[in-house]
Each structure stands twice: as C-alpha cells, then as structure tokens.
Amino acid sequence: MAKVKLENVTKRFPGGSVAVDSINLEIENREFLVLVGPSGCGKSTTLRLIAGLETGTQGDVIIADRVVTNVAPRDRDIAMVFQNYALYPHMSVYRNMSFGLMLRHFGGLLGDGVIGRGLRKIFQPRKAANDGRIISEIDEKVRQTAGRLGIEHLLDRKPHQLSGGERQRVALGRAIVRNPAAFLFDEPLSNLDAKLRQQLRIELKRLHRELNATMIYVTHDQVEAMTLGSRVAVMNEGKILQVGPPLEIYRQPSSLFVAKFIGSLPINLCQGKLVRIENGFRFEGDFSMDWQTEGGFENWPSKQPVTLGIRPEDIRLTETGPLKGKVSDLEQLGESTTIHCELVGSNDESIKSGADSNLVVRVDSDRIFRVGQIVHLELDQNRVIWFDPGTGKNILKE
C-alpha cells in the first residue's frame, strides 16, 4: 500500500473550465480519505487524475514516491471502483473478478485485444506447471475475496442476474483481488438504496481495517464522508477548502461554506455584531447574548459584523432559557425530533423586534411539542462558531 500525493495539480478542460485548481494533497499510506463537495466541484476529475484517466494541465501525481504524472493508468498500480460497477456483462462473476489478474499474467495471449478469443485460450487447461500454479493462485484469491464479501455463491452468475448491492460487491471484489497500491472509489454506493448504502459503508470500513489499504473515496454525500473517512477533504469550485478528521471539520469548519455543507441538519446562522463589555463581549443582532470571556476576540474590532453559527443539537429547549421562540414546524424522525423555532421579539429584550431569525433545534423524540407553542432556548456558548460575513472565514481558526 502506498502514499498518494498531489502537487499543485490543475486540470483545465478545453473551452477554459478549470475543474481542478492547484490542488495540493497528501494521502497517507493506509489512510481512508474522502473527497466531498457539491456536484461539479471537481471531485471525480481529481480522482481520475490520480488514476491517470485524465491528464493534468499542470502539477504532479506521486504514488508510492514515484512520479506517475505521465504513466499510463494500468501501470499506476491502483484499482478504481465506479458508481455504475463497470462489470463485463458477458462474463460470470468469477471471470469478472479474475479477468484483471489473468490479463496481467497471460496478457500476451490476448493477441490483438480480441478479448473473447483470448479468454478462450486462457481458460483452456494449460500444460505449463508455472501457468497452472498462477491459475490456482488466482482461483484461491478470487474465492477468498468472494468469501470475504459474502458473494461466493454468486460466482457463476452474470451481472444481470445480480442485485445492485451484489454487483457493487463484485466490483469491490475485482479491485481487492488485484491488491493495488491504492483503491479509488467514485461514488460507489450512490446507486443503492439507503439501507444497503449503510450496510456497505460498514463493510467498506471493515475492509479498510482488514486490508490496511490506502483508500480515496469521492462522494457528494456528507453522511458518507463523515462516517467513512479517517480524514475528509471538502472541495468547492476545484479547490480544497479544508482537510481534517470528520469531527474537526464538523466542529471547527474553516468557512461558512464548509459549515453549511457538512451536517445532516443545516447549521443555524444569525447575523449581528460583537460589542466589547466588561470581562467579555456581547453579540447584538437577531438576538443579543453575553459571553463572560474574551474568547479569542481580543483583536476583533468592536461592532464589526459577525455571523454566529450554532448546530441544532447545541441548542437546548428549557423552561427558562434566555431566548424565546415559537414552534413553527416539527419533524418527527423517530430517533429525534427537529423543531423549527421563530425567535419572537415581544416580552423579551434580548430579541430584536422584527428579527427574522429562525433556529432549528434537535431534541429527544420523547419530548412532545406542538406548533405554535412558546419555548425557551439556550445556546451552548462553547459550541458557537464565529464567521466573518465578509470573507466567510471562521474568525477563530487561523
């Protein structure tokens, strides 16, 4: 397994669109790195540049300390798993899984690339003892991998006789038998239903542990990114905005974009300014609230606008909390309930009259609320994230 490095990699497609913009990224040996971002941000192009399926406009791709920028995909020692499985429809599962290895060892037999004719030759019993040994090694690898993925009973079937989840396992199996330096996954689970996706996510994590492999995984689904990655790289408009462990990205996003993109419920954002008070500061805006700490704002100009961010689970609904809200909507999800609260100005000086701020709060599902109910809200002050509304940057993150 190997370290993968991108040095200043740019891809400009004909016509001028820059899909990947000067990316620098180091994926450690045996790491599971997830590239996540909205549609069109350049994730797949980045992966294809690593695989060698696209040629970069500038920069270098380095795999296992070898510059492979001008090396053909088949010589990069990587295996790629796609969303659409890309299985050979006319071959059995067994052949789909063994084909790459057979090709590597007996490629010469394929003649002019006429796969059908070549395969007939390959699968004929061969006399040479060495060939026999290789064939039985390949056979063992295929059967062992099929066992690991729970598809050993499907080896004789063709892809059209498989479910989506089974096909994706075959595609995974085909990559695993090759024992590559790195695995590249391009949205491999997005054709599957939610339950199967969750099951395969767990299997992928287990495989990663067992194979001790370097894995790079592309998705637009932030839940996949959070649950799979040992590190997550958030991309937008061809650039990597932040790289870090999932929880760090969630708790300390470097920008408003990252804060909004990560999180299954959107982060609450309120506009205001910071005013210095004795022993601390006050947020004055959609509502007002005091912090009894300097909190890193020693150098922040008083009264300069800020955006306050708070995640829905970091707001508590209490009997006497400092903010008052009216329940405007409820979503009961079973494991929790999402409450949409309109901050109400009347009878509460902390809330600016006419404030149009809504706060979304996540509460235990056994607490019963109704639309129209007046509730009190308390923010976990340590969990508030501060952004500069001008630059969109997290003010307290260097």
Q: Which residues bind ligand ATP (CB under 6 A)?
A: 13, 17, 19, 37, 39-45, 220
**Between residues 110 and 223, which has the closer beta carbon with respect to ligand ATP?**
223
**Interior CA angle at 395 toward 389 and 398, to 5°?**
135
Q: Are 151 and 94 in contact (CB under 8 A)?
A: no
Closest CA to 258 of 281, 294, 232: 232
Distance, in Å, from the CA atom of 78 to the CA atom of 300, rounded to the nearest integer, reads 48
- Closest approach, Cβ 197 to ligand ATP, in A, equals 16
Q: Are 168 and 66 in contact (CB under 8 A)?
A: no
**Between residues 19 and 200, which has the closer beta carbon with respect to ligand ATP?**
19
3-state secondary structure of 366: coil
One-letter amino acid of 390: G
Distance, in Å, from the CA atom of 329 to the CA atom of 339, rounded to the nearest integer, reads 6
**Between residues 41 and 204, which has the closer beta carbon with respect to ligand ATP?**
41
- Closest approach, Cβ 249 to ligand ATP, in A, equals 17
**Between residues 23 and 176, which has the closer beta carbon with respect to ligand ATP?**
23
Closest CA to 261 of 237, 287, 235: 235
- Closest approach, Cβ 379 to ligand ATP, in A, equals 34
Q: Are 72 and 52 in contact (CB under 8 A)?
A: yes
- Closest approach, Cβ 19 to ligand ATP, in A, equals 3
Using only C-alpha atoms, the chain has a radius of gyration, in whole angstroms, of 27
Q: What DSSP state is assigned to residue 267?
A: P
3-state secondary structure 255-276: EHHHHHHCCCCCCEEEEEEEEE
- Closest approach, Cβ 77 to ligand ATP, in A, equals 23
Q: Which residue has the tokens 């899909």?
A: 19
**Interior CA angle at 373 toward 369 and 374, to 5°?**
120
**Between residues 11 and 76, which has the closer beta carbon with respect to ligand ATP?**
11
Q: Are 177 and 162 in contact (CB under 8 A)?
A: no
- Closest approach, Cβ 60 to ligand ATP, in A, equals 19
**Between residues 82 and 291, which has the closer beta carbon with respect to ligand ATP?**
82
- Closest approach, Cβ 145 to ligand ATP, in A, equals 28
**Between residues 42 and 312, which has the closer beta carbon with respect to ligand ATP?**
42
